[in-house]
Structure 1
């Protein structure tokens, strides 16, 4: 049997009672975090233009565009909501790939559900999320950067999880689910070039795939069959996207628990996850009383992949917001000087701050340490030379927000507050948090959808 058969059978048979309290709590926290990020990003660059563009193709009916922007046909609503969730680069990650999971799973699942079953029991909804997020993480970890062709693993792996989540929520048979996975295979794509070039397309890539997921599930539900050898076929997922390098055996190990959700990291800073360990150390410098004016030179040693993703030289004159979100130099300079890295540090005006920009360009040197695991986010090493001649060495082996250093309830609430204030939301943090928690008692998802709308 192709792996798709196993994934489908597992997804459609999962029950809420089979999930551990820790998995449920992690699913709830991830949902709160993701929706806060989406409401924060609802007015981000490109979204207004995208809403206008898509508005030519459908009326104000269907599923909600979160943040008070009316409704649209489910694929368009899912697309726009996925952009807003990912726009600020504040959404969760699986650090071991890395990939964003909820950003692919939630927008499609919620647009689909609002269209077909808005009164869905909250526990059924949480089960579908857990199935989808866990599935996305399993595919990402089994393959991910083992392949070398420059794929965006959030996009190609996350879309599998999104299909599985919808299949579980709709209580499909396994055959229908395999067909949906097959249709998704036929339209899977996602290059890392948008990140390399610092383009706005980066925040639209997950949305493109979420939109495709809704087309795939619609075709499968209509009885149109897709390829069945989705993963192990000659031109299936493993050979096409992973160069045949895939840990097939471990995908199924413990899959019935959906427990990988507990490994998801919630971001404390609105920037690429590879910047977070350096930000942690930069904040430690700030806590010690140091500011940019005190530092002559800062040498930062990270993994090879960190250099590839976020180690490029920061150019104050030409950098865009995506460049700043993907810059160790910029984010570390902000952290040292301001003692925090917030959403407001990634605006057109903020990234032109000359003191931050000149320090990031001229006084920070980022190097790949060949002794470190190439794909690792940690360890990270700082060697700072101060203007008074003193030298300081700092290092970290863990990243804030990771399972080993999870955000506390207070920290998560503070993030939600920051997100809702930045997005000028008409709801407050306690409303969002309590409405999500009510889902554990079986409250209908319609209450949450109404809040988001």
Structure 2
């Protein structure tokens, strides 16, 4: 029997009592983090244009977060996913990597608002945990090892989103499999938007969030989707994984949604592969070292980090996406300011000549063949100072990862930065408290009211 049946059966049967307290805590933190990122991203380049382009199809239905009115559920999910992913501040699974919430949460909350107005906290947290865990589980079992350039946030995130909504609707296994089949039939997710540094990148999870709601609608109408979702001749494993898929990673912890605890919340609004280099740059700043003290930094990272974020940075031609995906730019700004926040990726900051010159002329990024191809650590710096001194720095951990989690204070600081960026009319304390009340089964409508 196709793997879709096992995933569907698990998704349909999970309840809040299956979740450990640590999984609930991780789900709540991820929800707080994701909503803050989305509210920060509502005015990022491309979002106003997207709202304008889609408005001709209707302005009623579900909330477009941040005070932008309503839209039909699929379009609201699209716009909310786009804003969540726009600043590259949303959570990751470092082992794939993928942004699970970027697809799962916008689709799930649109379905809640569209069909489950009386939904309470336990139902939402259970469905969200099911979806995040499912996306991560499939992403890890497949992994990019067989990839020809697929965006794993999209292809795995769509599977997780279907599982989340199936749990919320209390579907049976067969209908859930049908929806997974419809989702497979309309999945795409090329990484070329990252390679070309274009704004389409922030709308790829958005496209999938929209498509998931379409798949759900078709399955609900008893239009059958493919059944051999994973193991078919053109199923997920052959199409996206070149036939390589570690099924041994599917079962452990599946019935507890335990992988949610492995989510990483990002302390910096840039590609996850830049985070360990940023950590080292901030360590240097804390030691009193500034860009003017540095003759050259040689950065050694994994081969995939070079592919993703190791390209030459040119401030004259760079845009926001280029900066979000540049180790050199991120190091230059972190060394200069001693922090890295949303404002560092404004168009004016990205075009700044001082940081741009430092990134282009004094930083070299090389692949370290001793680091696993997909590894985010270790990262090594060889630094020559202008006074002739030589420094060697290394980190084997990444801030925000399960082994170096953001503290409650750090999460609060991030949420406050996100909300202040767009002058949101409620505080970090109010968002954190309102979402936290879902633990005691408070109505989801309180959260939706804030988002509106």
CA distance in 2, matches of 1:121, 1:245: 39
Q: CA deviation at 1:253?
A: 2.2
CA distance in 1, matches of 2:435, 2:170: 22
Q: Deviations 1:199-253 (Å, cap 9, x if unpaired)?
A: 0000010000110000000000111110100001111000011100110222122
Ranges in structure 1 where 5+ consecutive residues have no aligned partner? none
Q: Deviations 1:107-143 (Å, cap 9, x if unpaired)?
A: 0000011010122011010000000000000000011
- 1:34 aligned to 2:34? yes
CA distance in 2, matches of 1:423, 1:160: 32
1:228 match:
227
Greater Cα offset, 245-254 or 215-224: 245-254
1:46 match:
46
- 1:308 aligned to 2:307? yes
CA distance in 2, matches of 1:199, 1:360: 20
Greater Cα offset, 293-302 or 419-428: 419-428
CA distance in 2, matches of 1:446, 1:120: 8
CA distance in 1, matches of 2:313, 2:74: 37
2:343 match:
344
Q: CA deviation at 1:21?
A: 0.5
CA distance in 2, matches of 1:250, 1:282: 35
Q: Secondary structure at the match of 1:367?
A: strand
Q: Deviations 1:80-118 (Å, cap 9, x if unpaired)?
A: 000000000000000000000111100000001101012
TM-score normalised to the size of structure 1?
A: 0.99
Report if the CA contact (8 A) 1:79-1:211 is conserved. Answer: yes
Q: CA deviation at 1:148?
A: 2.7
Matches within 5 A, 1:102-121: 102-121=101-120
Across the aligned residues of Structure 1 and Structure 2, the Cα RMSD in angstroms comes to 0.6
- 1:318 aligned to 2:334? no
Report if the CA contact (8 A) 2:320-2:350 is conserved. Answer: yes
- 1:125 aligned to 2:124? yes
Matches within 5 A, 1:358-369: 358-369=357-368
Matches within 5 A, 1:206-355: 206-355=205-354
TM-score normalised to the size of structure 2?
A: 0.99
CA distance in 1, matches of 2:319, 2:312: 13
- 1:3 aligned to 2:28? no
Q: Secondary structure at the match of 2:347?
A: coil
Greater Cα offset, 19-28 or 146-155: 146-155
Matches within 5 A, 1:173-212: 173-212=172-211
Deviating 4+ runs (over 2 angstroms): none
2:92 match:
93
Q: Secondary structure at the match of 2:403?
A: helix
Q: Deviations 1:146-184 (Å, cap 9, x if unpaired)?
A: 213100011101110000000001111111100000000
CA distance in 1, matches of 2:444, 2:89: 24
Aligned pairs, number: 452
Report if the CA contact (8 A) 2:140-2:249 is conserved. Answer: no
Q: Deviations 1:301-340 (Å, cap 9, x if unpaired)?
A: 0000000000000011100100000000000111111100
Q: Deviations 1:40-63 (Å, cap 9, x if unpaired)?
A: 0011111111111101111x2100
Greater Cα offset, 61-70 or 247-256: 247-256
Report if the CA contact (8 A) 1:146-1:246 is conserved. Answer: no
Matches within 5 A, 1:167-178: 167-178=166-177
Q: CA deviation at 1:15?
A: 1.0
Report if the CA contact (8 A) 1:118-1:444 is conserved. Answer: no
Q: Deviations 1:342-377 (Å, cap 9, x if unpaired)?
A: 100001100111110000000000000111101100
CA distance in 2, matches of 1:388, 1:226: 67
Ranges in structure 2 where 5+ consecutive residues have no aligned partner? none
Report if the CA contact (8 A) 2:62-2:73 is conserved. Answer: yes
Q: CA deviation at 1:186?
A: 0.3
CA distance in 2, matches of 1:75, 1:218: 10
